[in-house]
A and B are shown apart, each in its own frame.
Chain A
Amino acid sequence: MRNAPTLALRGRLIRLAGSGTIVTLMLLLVALWLVFAITIGDRFFSVNTLQSMAFQMPELGILSLAMMLALLSGGLNLSIIATANLSGLTIAFLLTHYIPGSQGIAWAGVQVLAIAAGFAVAALVGLVNGFVIAYLGVSPILATLGTMTLCKGLAIGLTRGNVISGFPEPIVFIGNGTVFGVPFALIVLALCALPVALMLNATPFGARVYMIGSNEKATRYSGVDTRAVLLKLYVLSSLLAGVAAVVMLARFNSANAAYGESYLLVTILAAVLGGVDPFGGFGKVGGLLLALIILQMISSAFNLLNLSQFLTLAIWGGILIAVAAVPHLGGKAPR
């Protein structure tokens, strides 16, 4: 008697994970917007507030996309922050040591090459993750815990924990510049989110990722080379961490082995709040973006209200539990 409703509930949960969560998040967004509009008033709608929100969101957003990819396949990527810092430091090192003059083709070329080198480092970490997970069969949490410690260790060992700072103008622009009032970093986030959404929803590769997340064994037996898909997926996840690295080092105008470490669990929080099933198979980029906007809105509003950022953390946690509990509460009613 206790089991039959559970099974029905599971089916319901699966259906809700797609569109249902997005509806819940929309309602939550509108409700929060109203609450903050009433409590804060005009200041909440000022251009400054909106712009500071738009400046703060991209780092967490791109990192959450990286985490989401791994989560969709039923895995986890704990190494995203460490990867971002390692490739950020690579870029920073090249930019501060090999930059010739302050103008010209070589000057621009070194900047492009530095970023390419950073992406190469990120891709390499992704290859290690993907190989160990897909071909050696190590559980993702373990493998990425290893590469996380390894990357962080490499970054700390090489820099002795020091900060590398002072980059050319164009690099700083990525993190701090605006195009027609829109922060460039937000455009970078959009340039990441759109292809990822297209890849997941409109390509065979995306369909395979979802299938692996639902049932890896069945997917393999139906003739999909799951190992190749997973390898590619972890490389993509790492590359997104590389993009986040560029945004981060540009925004702080510096790189360090320990930047953004508190983001790691927040990326999981954002992805799961956005409707990504932590066991894989379900989740949309749209949901993740909504979740990011909600988190950022709470954070900015609390800032305006002079409330502690730590209270923001607590509220984020509370909202995650509330949203995760909604399908269950909804499923209870018909009984």
Chain B
Amino acid sequence: MPKPRFASFGRFRRSHEFWLLIVILVLCASLGAANGQFLTMQNLFDLLTSYAFVGILALGLLVVLIAGGIDISFTATASVAQYVTLSVANAYGANWICVFAIAIGIGGALGALNAIFIRKLRIPSIIVSVATLNIFYGLLIFFTGGKYIYSLPDWFATGIFWFEFEWGKDTSYGVNLQILALGFSFLFTWLLLNRSNIGRQIYAMGGNTDAAQRLGFHVFGLNMLVYCYMGVMAGIASLVQAQLAQSVAPTVLVGKELDVVAAVVLGGASLMGGVGTVFGTFLGLALLAILQNGIILLGVSSYWSPFFVGLVILISVSATAWSQRERRPRSAQP
């Protein structure tokens, strides 16, 4: 059930987010002490920029998980949206509004397809998204031959650089496209889940779909909205990634699904539905980002980075499960 956060500190102290926050703060403090570069503006902006893609997708997936479903087709959706949008932009010319409109449209349409398969054919969402991942990706590579696009429109390659300010002698920072998109995605998802009637309905549906339906919720409409939202996020994330990579690589994104799943579930979202917060997802994302960044800054070979990430995931989920067991010792949670 959704609960007003910060309503009482006591409740927050016992929450998943609290422990995650403590871990992150300890990690930040020790990394900051070990390496002067960690706690700099430069590093913060770099982190936000490079994790924008995973972050935006994580927010879409969060909404799907809260609604009681799962989607892993989003990397394929993003690949399709990216390829089609930038091909169109290259062929016919476009501007920022245009490319985002096309990417969002494609993402939303593919998301709608998922929702139709899930609700109208009543196939479980995990099956549908495994299937559509293969369908979208297979068809994309079949029709494009897997060719990369290296030449992007100049205005797109240049990107956005707002609120530029100088730092020291020759470094300057600004809000770029990645950070802007990530910020808006967080704001919008938070508004959707916490400040809208629809958000309440999504939580309720994820908690108990049958009950929600009997209360008169439009379950198909809600599902449609949720999977379209995931698709739209995939569309936005795909452009953010293409701008950062300065190319479109149709084979690169698929296979990164589980990174996104890891960020969201580390943030406390439950695969059973009805549970999860935007703040938690932010913390889950931050933990993964800081960990990978910290390992590099500490001079550990990047080959070992996945090992430590896996270790932290395993320890953190075990610790969470253990602390919840102590509170409800006799509940038969699997």
Contact = CB atoms under 8 A, between A and B. Distances in A.
A317 B133 contact: yes
A157 B310 contact: no
A150 B117 CA distance: 34
Contacts, number: 175
B171 to A, nearest CB: 33
Interface string B49-66: 000000000000000000
Contacts of A156: 303-304, 306-307
B305 interface: yes
Given A137-B334, A151-B310, A324 B121 contact: yes
Interface string B126-144: 1110111111011111100
Contact of A328 (B121, B306, B318): B121
Interface in A117-176: 128, 132, 136-139, 141-143, 145-154, 156-157, 160-161
A160 B255 CA distance: 20
Interface stretch (A41-49, A231-239, A308-316): A308-316
A314 B126 contact: no
A143 B307 CA distance: 14
Contacts of B306: 149-150, 152-153, 156-157
A279 B134 CA distance: 21
Interface in B127-165: 127-128, 130-135, 137-142, 146
Given A154-B307, A313-B137, A318-B135, 7 more contacts: A9-B122, A156-B304, A157-B301, A278-B124, A320-B130, A325-B123, A328-B123
A78 interface: yes
Interface residues of B, number: 54
A103 interface: no
Nearest to A272: B127
12 contacts: A128-B314, A138-B318, A139-B271, A142-B271, A147-B310, A153-B306, A217-B332, A269-B131, A317-B133, A318-B135, A324-B121, A328-B121
B128 A321 contact: yes
A74 interface: yes
B265 interface: yes
B322 interface: yes
B304 A157 contact: yes
Among B308, B310, B325, residue most surrounded by chain A Cβ atoms (within 10 Å): B310
Nearest to B314: A146
B122 to A, nearest CB: 5
Interface string A1-25: 0110000010000000000000000
Going nearest first, the 3 A-B pairs with the smallest beta carbon separation are A153-B307, A314-B138, A150-B310
Nearest to A142: B317
Contact of A138 (B133, B137, B321): B321
Contacts of B324: 137
Contact of B138 (A145, A148, A278, A310): A310
A180 interface: no
A216 interface: yes
Residues of A in contact with B, size category:
35 or more
A145 B313 contact: yes
Contact of B137 (A142, A157, A310, A324): A310
B293 to A, nearest CB: 16
A268 interface: yes
B310 A153 contact: yes
B311 interface: yes
A142 to B, nearest CB: 5
A147 B314 contact: yes
Contacts of B142: 308, 310-311, 314
B265 A142 contact: yes
Interface in B179-232: 210, 213-214
Contacts of B303: 156-157, 160-161
A262 B255 contact: yes
Binding site secondary structure of chain B: helix
Contacts of B141: 308, 310
A188 B122 CA distance: 37
Contacts of B146: 310
A278 B128 CA distance: 11
A225 interface: no
A273 to B, nearest CB: 9
Contacts of B304: 153, 156-157
Contacts of A149: 262, 306-307, 309-310, 313
B79 to A, nearest CB: 12
A150 B318 contact: no
A312 B334 contact: no
A228 to B, nearest CB: 14
B258 interface: yes
Contact of B214 (A3, A279, A328): A3
Nearest to A158: B303
A161 B307 CA distance: 13
A151 B311 CA distance: 9
B72 interface: yes
Interface in B257-302: 258, 261-262, 265, 270-271, 301
Nearest to A311: B142
Contact of B333 (A137, A141, A268): A137
Given A152-B310, A217-B334, A316 B134 contact: yes
B174 to A, nearest CB: 34
A334 to B, nearest CB: 16
B265 A317 contact: no
